[in-house]
Amino acid sequence: MISSKNVNGLPDKDQLRKICKAISVLDAILSPEWEFRYYSYNSGWDEKEEVLEMRDGEGSHMLVLFRPEGCVINGFSNDYQPGLKQELTKDLPLIFHNFIFGEPVKSIGTTFCMWTIENKKWQTGNVSEEDGSEEMLAVFDGKISTYINWAAEYFETDVPEDVATKLYEGLPLTKSMVLSVNSDFEEWDQLQSDLEEIDYIYEQNK
Give the pLDDT confidence of 80-125 residue by residue, as tens digits.
888 889 999 999 999 999 999 999 999 999 999 999 998 789 999 9
First to last CA, the chain: 38
Per the domain annotation, does 99 fall within a domain? yes
pLDDT digits (tens, 9 = 90+) for 150-203: 999 999 999 999 999 999 999 999 999 999 999 999 999 999 999 999 999 998
pLDDT for 116-158, tens place per residue? Answer: 998 789 999 999 888 999 999 999 999 999 999 999 999 999 9
Whether 26 maps to a domain, the answer reads yes
pLDDT of residue 198: 98
> What range does the domain containing 23 cover?
7-203
In a domain, 1, yes or no: no
- Contact indicator for 191, 29 with CB cutoff of 8 Å: yes
Residue 35 clears pLDDT 90, i.e. is over it: no
**pTM here?**
0.95
Q: Is residue 11 part of a domain?
A: yes
Q: CA of 37: how far to CAs of 117, 134, 179, in Å?
A: 29, 20, 18
Instruction: State how many domains the chain has.
Output: 1
For 112, list phi and psi in degrees, rounded to 5. -155, 155
Residue at 2 is within a domain? no
